[in-house]
Amino acid sequence: MDININLILAIVLSIVAVYAIYKIKTKTNKFAFATLSALVLGLILGAVFKKDIMFLEVVGSGYMSLIKMIIVPLVMVSLITSIIRLKNLNTLKSIGAKTLVILLGTTGIAAAIGIVVANVFKLGQGLSFSGAGDFKAREIPTLSKVLVDMLPSNPFASIVDNKIIPIVIFSLFISIALMTLDNKSPEKAKPFKDFILSAYDVVLEITRIVLKFIPYGVFALIATAAASNGLDTIKSLAWVVAAVYISCILQILLVHTPLVSLVARKNPFAFFKGIFPAQTVAFTSQSSYGTLPVTIKSLVEGVGVSQNVASFVAPLGSAIGMNGCGGLYPAIVAIFVANVFGIHLTAYSYGLIILTTVVSSIGIAGVPGAATMSTTVVLATLGLPIEGMAMVMAVDSVIDMARTATNVTGSAVTALVVDESEKRKSSHKSVNASRTV
C-alpha cells in the first residue's frame, strides 16, 4: 500500500498551523494579527502542498455554512431592534429624515463607485475558486419580478429561500406594528418587545461566536485557494485591497467634499482638519462605534456642529448607511466573486447591487462584522456564491482600516449638512417671526 507522505505532512503541519493561530490569537489578543497570520500560513501550505491540502476544503465549506446560518435571524432582529431604538425620530422628524436620506444616498453612490473601480481593475478575472466550475449561476430576475418578490407573500418561504429583501420588508412591517402598538398600549407590546430585544442579544452572541472562528476559516479557505491558484491568489488580493482604498479616497473626494463645500457651504479643508482625530482613531481602531466619542467631540469642538445633532447623527451613522462597510465594499466583492465564478453581470445587475447595498445597510445595523454580513446579503440576493467572499475575508483587517475611516467621514459629513440645514431653517423662522412682529 502506497503511503502519501505529502498528505500526512500536510495534515500534521495544518494541525500545527491551527494551533499556532490559536496561540497568536490568545497571547496577543489581536484578532486582526491572528487573521493575517492565518492568511500567510494558508498561502504557504497551499502553495507547497497543492492538491494534498485540499482536505481542508471541508473545513472552509463548514465555516461558510455557519456564516450563512446567521444571515436571516441577524437581519430580522437587528433591523427590528434598530427601528425600535430609533423611535425618537418622532420628536426629531426633520433631523431623522435628512440624516437617513443622506446616509443611504451616499451609501448608494459609494456602491456605484465600488462597481466602477472593481470593473476598471477587472477584479477576480483569471482567478478560479474550488468548486467554481460546478457552480451554476442563478438567473438574475427582471425588475418587475424583483419588485413583486420584494413583497413577502410568504415570509417563511422567504426565510427558507434566503430572500433577504422580502425579509427586510416583513421586518419593517413588524417594526411599525410594534411601535404603533407600543404607543397605544405599552403593556401589550412589552412581551413581544422584550422578546425581540432578548433575541437580538442572543443572535449577536451567536454572531460573535461564529466570527471568532474567522482566522481558522480563512486558513482553510486560503490554503485551498492557494493550492488552486498559487501566486495569482496573492496578486488578486492585492488588487482588491488597492481597489477598496482607491474607492474610499474617491468617495471622500467626489461625494463627501462636495457635500461639505456646496451643500453645507463650509470650507472642506477646515472640516477635514476638524474631524482628522476621528478619522485617525477610526483608521487605527477599525471600529466606528469605538470612535464615537472622538467623532462627536471632533464635530462639536473641531467643526462647530451642535451637540444635539452630533449626538444624534454620529451614532446613527455608525449603524446605518455606512459608506465603506455597507456601500463600496459589498459592491467590490460582488464584482470580484462574479468574475471568479465566470458570471456575467449586466447594467441591471449593477443597479440591483446598488439597491441591495442600500437595503442591507439598514438590515445589518449595528452588528459585529457588519461589512461581512452586508456583503453576504448582497451576494445571496444576486444569487452569487457566498463562498467566493472567503478569499477577500483574509485581508479584511487591512481593508477595514480604510472602510472604517470612510464610514466615520460619511457620518461626520452627514452631521454637518444636517446641522447647517437646521440652522438655516431656524434662521428663516426667526426672520419671518420678526417680520410678522
CA 167 to CA 8: how far, in whole Å?
A: 46
Mean pLDDT by 10 residues, the chain (437 residues): 79 90 83 78 86 86 78 75 61 71 93 95 75 53 61 75 72 82 86 90 83 82 76 76 95 96 92 88 70 81 84 75 88 92 87 87 61 82 80 79 90 92 73 57
**For residue 144, what pLDDT is reported?**
63
pLDDT at site 91: 44
Query: Would 324 be classed as within a structural domain?
Result: yes
pLDDT at 336: 92
Instruction: Print the domain residue range for 181.
Output: 5-424
Q: How many domains does the structure of the chain reveal?
A: 1
- Alpha-carbon gap, residue 169 to 233, rounded angstroms: 38
pLDDT confidence of residue 64:
73
The CA-to-CA distance between both ends of the chain, in Å, stands at 103
pLDDT of amino acid 106: 94
336 in any annotated domain: yes
pTM for this entry: 0.69
With respect to residue 429, please indicate whether it lies within any of the assigned structural domains.
no
Residue 350 within any structural domain of the chain: yes
Locate cell 440624516: which residue?
99
Residue 436 domain flag: no
CATH code of the domain containing 156: 1.10.3860
Residue 131 falls within a domain, yes or no? yes
- List of residues 6+ apart from 164 with CB closer than 8 A: 71, 72, 75, 356, 359, 360, 363, 377, 380, 381
Residue 98's alpha-carbon distances to 2, 52, 176, 266, 429, in angstroms, are 70, 56, 20, 18, 18
Contact between 303 and 351 (Cβ < 8 Å)? no
430 domain residue, yes or no: no
Residue 432 resides in a domain: no
